[in-house]
A and B are shown apart, each in its own frame.
Chain A
Amino acid sequence: MIRERTVNAAILALLVAVPAWAQWADEPFTITLATRVVIFAVAAVGLNIALGLGGLVSLGHAVYFGLGGYAMGVLASHAQNYSPLMEWPLQLDGTKSMPVIWLTAILSSALAAVAIGLLALRTTGVYFIMITLAFGQMAYFFAISWPAYGGEDGLSIYVRNSFPGLNTLIPIQFYGLCLAWLGVVLFLNARLARSSFGLVLTAARQVPQRVEAVGLDPTRAKLVALVISGAITGLAGALFADLNRFVSPTMLSWQMSGEIMVFVILGGVARLFGPVAGAGIFVLLEHLLGGISEYWQLFLGIILLLIVLSGRGGVVGMLSGRGATHE
């Protein structure tokens, strides 16, 4: 466990040092790349709460990611067109304020997670995987065929949303915001894992019958985990949309769900910094292999396959030896 702590510290140091160096060397693209890593890491930390703590293999986390993205897109597009969001029963305007957008993203994803969770948690195992996948597709096809917010083409936002006291158009300042959020969700994750709720959740993953026998409701614990997980991934979606100033149904696609899951497994399931390492390696591979070959996903696939087949515990697991792995 000491070694895992060292690995975690090294990852954290990299997240601070690389953008600081890029700022000094005037390499804004590197900062954008690092922002991508941090935002994906937030999304993956979200999934890791459901997956690592709750044992819920959700292949539909793109729903929350995309919902967060659309929360940003819808609010900001109404603000930039000066058209009200709705007029009845009360007048609601769009907004370009990040805190409001974040709150909307978190709440709407949490609500979606409640609805999906209530249905999906009736099932277990492979049914759960397929149902979460199907809900993802449902949202995806809805976004494609619903013309009000860009349909298949998506929505472009011309200017990045604002945060009081900061100029979010400067890459390093936006990076700082995203890194702060990563810090918050990692702290939350660590506290959650050690709280009594975390213990119930771990028990519910391992032997739900025993949890029931002591008078607790394992399904409710899983539902709460899914809601927290979805809310965090939704927040990441809002940040991601703001990074690109663009949101489209691609954010809801099942490939997106697959990628978020890849971040978690690549780094190490149920390890605090696993999702961060996984997102970092994925973005780095995407960037490096993308520079070498047009068919970089072929090599990505081979590397992923080798990692899965070779062993377990992901990259953080490999570096820090056996510890808290999933069973």
Chain B
Amino acid sequence: MSAILIVEQVLNGLQSGVMLFLMAAGLTLIFGVMGLINLAHGSLYMVGAFAAAAVAGATGSFVLALGAALVAAALAGGIVELVVIRRLYGRDHLDQVLATFALILIFSEGTRWLFGSFPLYLDIPDWLAGPVTLPGGIQYPLYRLALIVVGLVIAAGLGLLISRTRIGIQIRAGENDREMIAALGVDISRLYTLVFALGAGLAGLAGALVGAIQSVQVGMGEPVLISAFVVIVIGGIGSIKGALVGALMVGLTDTLGGIFLPELFKLFTDPAKATATGSAFASMAIYVLMAAVLVWRPTGLFGARA
């Protein structure tokens, strides 16, 4: 186990963490502002990835593909909010779970209908391909490094949007007291559509960015959705800061656990068995982390509501 490998894995963990943050940020905003639990958030991630793959295939431009992902997912989110989601705000969580579960079925099968069952591939553009040499002589893929930078820039931008702009003030007010801000003359239903579309756009962007290092296929959104749930439970529902901290914790735990737990088990048993046992436990590591955080703080690290 060399220092270079450790640095590499920490970077991988950061990369998956910031991508998770893009998913979790939308999820936590939507829950914080509208009180809605949205299982279909993973479908918007998938919509983004498919839109990017389709546009990249047609035009060959990666930047256009990312733009398309953002727009397509935000548009899909906006439409879904107008047609379905806004009927669910007054309902209990049970109805929300079932309706958004139905939306997953519709999105997944609809995408399969349009694009078929075979995975699509989204290529990393030439100008981001290949490794870079980091200080200390570490070779690391440029694209993954770019993902970390993009993710952190978006996180900072989102932080500014929430804390410094008029729309951010309205979002924060909406989290605290939605009747009051409606009474003050803010068009609350437009704000809801906007927040939903914003969350959807971020999810779609994450789908496209990650789609270039994995395959683009139906059902790609659900594992990420569940990791994002773990993130916002750890961070505290409704908190953007919590989503960032939680996402980095989950990304690092997942990546480092996958590498170090098998190594750890090798100290006790034979290598083949250690690899199997270690990876079995590594796949559960983030849930153990979540359980531990909840025992300590039942509303998450930065959660306010009881």
Question: A residues touching B (Cβ–Cβ < 8 Å)?
Answer: 51, 57, 59, 119, 122-123, 125-127, 129-131, 133-135, 137-138, 141-142, 144-147, 254, 258, 261-262, 265, 269, 295-298, 300-302, 304-305, 308-309, 312, 326-327
Contact = CB atoms under 8 A, between A and B. Distances in A.
B237 A146 contact: no
Contact of B101 (A122, A137, A262): A262
A147 B98 contact: no
Interface stretch (B144-152, B159-167, B172-180, B277-285): B277-285
Contacts of B282: 145
A135 B39 CA distance: 16
B226 interface: yes
B214 interface: no
A133 B280 contact: no
Q: Closest 4 CB pairs between A and B?
A: A301-B105, A298-B109, A141-B283, A304-B102
Interface string B281-306: 01110011011001100111000000
Contacts of A144: 283
Given A126-B31, A261-B98, A301-B109, A134 B103 contact: no
Contacts of B287: 134-135, 137-138
B298 A123 contact: yes
Interface in B156-201: none
A134 B229 contact: yes
A302 B104 CA distance: 10
A296 B105 CA distance: 9
A262 to B, nearest CB: 7
A130 B98 contact: no
B106 A295 contact: no
B88 to A, nearest CB: 8
B284 A141 contact: yes
A129 B102 contact: no
B116 to A, nearest CB: 11
B105 A137 contact: no
Contacts of A131: 233, 290-291, 294
Contact of B226 (A125, A137, A147): A137
Contacts of B280: 141-142, 145-146
A129 B93 contact: yes
Contact of A126 (B84, B104, B237): B237
B119 interface: no
Given A119-B291, A134-B226, A309-B99, A127 B106 contact: no
Given A119-B294, A298-B110, A304 B105 contact: yes
A301 B112 contact: no
